[in-house]
């Protein structure tokens, strides 16, 4: 299938002839592309910092939990207590029973996300049971002061490690906030950046369109495409840009889930464009027209606006220009 790109839909929506002339152009790196590349690089750095922050936070959590457990085992090594050993044994058995219930529940469930939740619990609960039984055994042993104090020191070292990762995570968060502020990005986690090279191409087999949004933000459970426009800032969102963004919303719908809106960004100015059926209908009409034009080779100017031609980057080679 021949796919039509979101970028071409933007050009066609501006003026069909502009799109037609652009098909014969060689791709050259103009000022707009250079500026775009700079923004993409910064956004990509932001995305990496955010991922680092998440990884560091996980390390903090693992080290802190590890340090707490080691410290508790250390304390248990310093004391011998039969009632505490019985108590921890009971807790351990209780968790094992819960784990068996979860195993049965995960097996009979049909809804996928519920099944996955139970399967995740199946990993955590046996671990909790194991920790409780370690305590139970340790409380039965004779006090071992050397081992107890060694474990307390080890726990301190783990806590120092957790503090170090906390510092790295805060540093990554500050860097991420700085980049977001600099690019004046809307709220949300950056999960995709069009780096003009390696970012995966989104495709819709249903409608035969493809493209790479400049950014994809994860806001709550939604994936929001963002189209960033450099150059002059218009008084409101332009029709051709709305069409391009709608194409990205269709792509996000097919590759992730239906987005409630998309974002058009002109410098610091941000516009939310709702994903509506009417917009999608107009977009698909344009795609149909483009396919017909590709077959017939008949393409002409479809407007009488001199200002459009004045701002058109193809007016020098256009046979139908108005200015
Ligand atoms: S100069 Fe005018 S008619 Fe020609 S491609 Fe540009 S907008 Fe269309």
The DSSP-derived string for 52-101 is: HHHHHHHHHHHHHHHHHHHHHHHHHHH---HHHHHHHHHHHHHHHHHHHH
Higher-pLDDT residue of 102, 288? 288
Contact 306, 274 (CB under 8 A): no
Q: Are residues 198 and 310 in the same domain?
A: yes
> Sorting pLDDT into bands at 50, 70 and 90, what band is 27?
low
| Residue 303: half-sphere exposure toward Cβ, Cα within 13 Å | 17
Q: Is the pLDDT of residue 30 over 80?
A: no
Query: Which ligand 1 atom is at minimum distance from the Cα of 303?
Result: 3
Give a yes or no: residue 87 inside a domain: yes
CATH number at residue 303: 3.90.320
* Rounded CA separation 280/208 (Å): 14
How many whole angstroms from 18 Cα to the centroid of ligand 1? 5
Bridge partners of residue 229, in order along the sequence: 266
Instruction: Report the alpha-carbon angle 189-194-197, nearest 5.
Output: 145
Domain count, the chain: 2
Q: Are residues 166 and 203 in the same domain?
A: no
* Rounded CA separation 190/285 (Å): 31
Q: Are residues 75 and 158 in the same domain?
A: yes
How many whole angstroms from 247 Cα to the centroid of ligand 1? 22
Query: Which ligand 1 atom is at minimum distance from the Cα of 20?
Result: 5
Give a yes or no: residue 323 inside a domain: no
pLDDT-above-90 percentage for the chain: 51
Decide which of 118, 151, 182 is a domain's last residue. 182
* Rounded CA separation 322/214 (Å): 32
Q: Is the pLDDT of residue 288 over 60?
A: yes
How many whole angstroms from 42 Cα to the centroid of ligand 1? 33
Q: Whose alpha carbon is nearest atom 5 of ligand 1?
A: 18
Query: Which ligand 1 atom is at minimum distance from the Cα of 319?
Result: 4
Higher-pLDDT residue of 86, 36? 86
Q: Is the pLDDT of residue 46 over 80?
A: yes
Structural domain boundaries enclosing 249: 4-26+186-317
Q: Are residues 63 and 130 in the same domain?
A: yes
Q: Are residues 174 and 209 in the same domain?
A: no
Q: Are residues 77 and 145 in the same domain?
A: yes
* pLDDT of amino acid 197: 67
Q: Are residues 140 and 211 in the same domain?
A: no
Q: Is the pLDDT of residue 61 over 70?
A: yes
> Sorting pLDDT into bands at 50, 70 and 90, what band is 267?
confident
Q: Are residues 169 and 268 in the same domain?
A: no
Q: For all residues of the chain together, what is the average pLDDT?
A: 88
Q: Which residues line ligand 1 (CB under 6 A)?
A: 15, 17-18, 21, 301, 308-309, 312, 314-315, 318, 320-322
Give a yes or no: residue 128 inside a domain: yes
Give a yes or no: residue 155 inside a domain: yes
Q: Whose alpha carbon is nearest atom 2 of ligand 1?
A: 309
* pLDDT of amino acid 80: 83
How many whole angstroms from 300 Cα to the centroid of ligand 1? 9
Decide which of 163, 182, 201 is a domain's last residue. 182
How many whole angstroms from 85 Cα to the centroid of ligand 1? 84
Q: Are residues 302 and 207 in the same domain?
A: yes
Give a yes or no: residue 289 inside a domain: yes
Q: Is the pLDDT of residue 308 over 80?
A: yes
Bridge partners of residue 274, in order along the sequence: 261
How many whole angstroms from 304 Cα to the centroid of ligand 1? 10
* pLDDT of amino acid 199: 77
Q: Outline where 195-317 has alpha helix (H).
A: 239-255, 277-296, 306-310
* pLDDT of amino acid 319: 93
Q: Are residues 126 and 96 in the same domain?
A: yes
Query: Which ligand 1 atom is at minimum distance from the Cα of 17?
Result: 5
Contact 262, 246 (CB under 8 A): yes
Q: Is the pLDDT of residue 262 over 80?
A: yes
Per-residue CA distances from 224 to 180, 189, 209 (Å): 16, 10, 18
Decide which of 182, 215, 235 is a domain's last residue. 182
Give a yes or no: residue 270 inside a domain: yes
Residue 233: CB atoms within 10 A of its CB come to 10
Q: Are residues 154 and 213 in the same domain?
A: no
* pLDDT of amino acid 57: 92
Give a yes or no: residue 37 inside a domain: no
Q: Is the pLDDT of residue 29 over 60?
A: no
Per-residue CA distances from 103 to 99, 100, 125 (Å): 6, 5, 11
Q: Whose alpha carbon is nearest atom 3 of ligand 1?
A: 321
Give a yes or no: residue 57 inside a domain: yes
Q: Are residues 242 and 312 in the same domain?
A: yes
Contact 186, 269 (CB under 8 A): no
DSSP code, position 187:
S
């Amino acid at each position: 299938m021949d796919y039509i790109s979101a970028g071409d839909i933007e050009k066609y929506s501006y003026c069909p002839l502009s799109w037609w002339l652009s098909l014969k152009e060689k791709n050259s790196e103009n000022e707009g592309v250079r500026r775009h590349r700079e923004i993409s690089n910064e956004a990509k750095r932001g995305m990496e910092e955010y991922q680092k922050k998440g990884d560091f936070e996980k390390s903090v959590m693992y080290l802190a939990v590890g340090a707490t457990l080691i410290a508790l085992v250390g304390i248990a090594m310093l004391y011998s207590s039969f009632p505490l050993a019985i108590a921890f044994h009971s807790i351990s058995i209780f968790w094992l029973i819960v784990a068996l219930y979860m195993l049965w529940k995960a097996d009979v469930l049909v809804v996928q996300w519920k099944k996955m939740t139970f399967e995740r619990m199946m990993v955590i609960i046996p671990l909790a049971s194991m920790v409780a039984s370690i305590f139970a055994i340790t409380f039965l042993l004779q006090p071992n002061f050397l081992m107890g104090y060694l474990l307390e020191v080890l726990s301190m070292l783990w806590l120092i490690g957790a503090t170090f990762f906390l510092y790295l995570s805060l540093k990554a968060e500050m860097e991420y906030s700085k980049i977001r502020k600099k690019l004046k990005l809307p709220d949300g986690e950056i999960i995709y950046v069009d780096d003009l090279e390696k970012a995966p191409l989104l495709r819709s087999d249903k409608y035969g369109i493809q493209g790479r949004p400049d950014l994809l933000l994860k806001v709550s459970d939604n994936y929001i495409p963002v189209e960033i426009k450099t150059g002059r800032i218009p008084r409101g969102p332009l029709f051709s840009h709305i069409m391009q963004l709608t194409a990205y919303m269709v792509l996000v719908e097919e590759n992730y889930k239906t987005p409630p809106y998309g974002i058009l960004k002109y410098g610091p100015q941000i516009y939310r464009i709702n994903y509506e059926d009417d917009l999608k209908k107009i977009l698909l009409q344009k795609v149909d027209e483009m396919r017909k034009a590709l077959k017939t080779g008949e393409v002409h100017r479809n407007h009488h606006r001199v200002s459009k031609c004045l701002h058109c980057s193809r007016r020098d080679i256009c046979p139908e220009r108005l200015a």
